[in-house]
Amino acid sequence: MVSHGHVSLDHERVVARRGERSGATAIVAIHSTRLGPALGGVRIWSYHDDAEGLHDAIRLSAGMTLKAAAAGLELGGGKGVICMPEGGFADAEARRDALLDFGDLVESLGGDYVTAEDVGASPEDLVTIAERTSHVTGLPADRGGSGDPSPLTALGVERAIEACLEERFGSPDPAGRRIAIVGLGHVGGALAGLLAERGADLAVSDIADASRERAGELGAAWLDPATATESECDVLAPCALGGVVDHASVHRLHCGAICGSANNQLADDSMAAELERRGILYAPDFLVNSGGLINVAREIHGYGAAEALGMVEAIGDSTRRVLARARSESITPLDAARDLASARLGEPERPAADATLPRLVA
């Protein structure tokens, strides 16, 4: 067993089960149901061991509580994980078995947890999970769902970027602004398309060399994935995995603001204060990237495309309020965004600005 760092385990329920069909470990972490059922996608990933997968579920589910609360949703936070063998599942049948096992685990929780798409999972995977449980959202449109939420996640990030540009440079217009997008997956690719249409000076990066073709289509400069976060830019938009700002990388940043779709962009909360000291504006990821969550959340109570779009558009206004409060009270945007979430959760007010807050990630 290896150590994966410290996380604060204030969860309502954490369940891990080895699948009867697949033998793969499935995990669900329910952080909070105070505002409603815990919603959070299922991550399908190859981990060093099951303990690492458990750590991932625990930290990500806590972030989902903040995201749902800050977005004004009547939902709690949860996360699912399927620990995939190194190198992937042996074949399609093995993958299907693991998905069915996960569906059984979700069903056993009696609706306290609702699953959706996350890293490594697809809408088609959700269809398989739905064979074993009704507590699934984000299904393809031909199965009664709203389809891929990535475009709405990207739209929410674009609105948050506008708020950051306005706060940092005085205008929300991305035209001519150097924006570096790290990760050209579903969300990063959609975001790049939106910003290219508005005349942003784009620089992009992805670990997949095939994404170079997409960069060419967008007229974007290509960045070396190993050093992409160090690029000189007005806005750095991390849109892949988290932890990109840590004690080493924070001193190599050359951006005016950080605003992207990746979860848990800060390796730990102390990075928020360090970014502030360096004069780098940080838009908290759980506020910025909630568009997809808002979209799939609307399915639970009856989907309305116009209502979902309106809530996603409002991410820009929420980001402006958070940034304005941070400025006026001399606190970090992370503190201000947490205050917004805590107010909805009915939690005590944030301690003094120089106090050490509980960590969201290890």
CA neighbor of 119 nearest in space, from 220, 239, 295, 18: 239
Instruction: Give the mean model confidence (pLDDT) for residues 257-286.
Output: 95
Q: Which residues contact 26 (CB under 8 A, 6 or more apart)?
A: 16, 17, 18, 19, 80, 81, 82, 83, 98, 101, 102, 105
Site of tokens 């995995």: 241
pLDDT score at 123? 87
User: What tens digit of pLDDT does each residue of 101-155 get?
Assistant: 999 999 999 999 999 988 899 889 999 999 999 999 988 888 877 777 889 999 9
Q: Is the pLDDT of residue 1 over 60?
A: no
- The residue to which tokens 């063998």 are assigned: 85
Backbone angles phi and psi of 18, in degrees to 5: -85, 125
Q: What is the mean pLDDT of residues 3-10?
A: 51
| pLDDT at position 243 over 90 | no
Catalytic, 67? Answer: no
Query: What are the Cα distances from residue 27, in Å, to 58, 91, 105, 150?
Result: 9, 21, 8, 24
What was the pLDDT predicted at 210? 84
Please tell me the predicted confidence (pLDDT) of residue 354.
36
Q: Which residues contact 291 (CB under 8 A, 6 or more apart)?
A: 149, 152, 153, 154, 155, 156, 157, 312, 315
Choose among 228, 333, 227: nearest CA to 280.
333
Q: Is the pLDDT of residue 55 over 60?
A: yes
- What is the reported pTM? 0.84
Dihedral (CA of 128, 131, 137, 143) sign: positive
Mean pLDDT of 299-310: 76
Q: Which residue has the higher pLDDT, 6 or 74?
A: 74
Which of 134, 165, 132 has its CA nearest to residue 21?
Answer: 132
Task: For the chain, give the mean pLDDT.
Answer: 90
Q: Which residue out of 31, 43, 55, 79 is catalytically annotated?
A: 79
Q: What is the mean pLDDT of residues 95-101?
A: 98
- Cα 76-81-82 angle, rounded to 5 deg: 150
CB 199: neighbour CB atoms within 10 A?
12
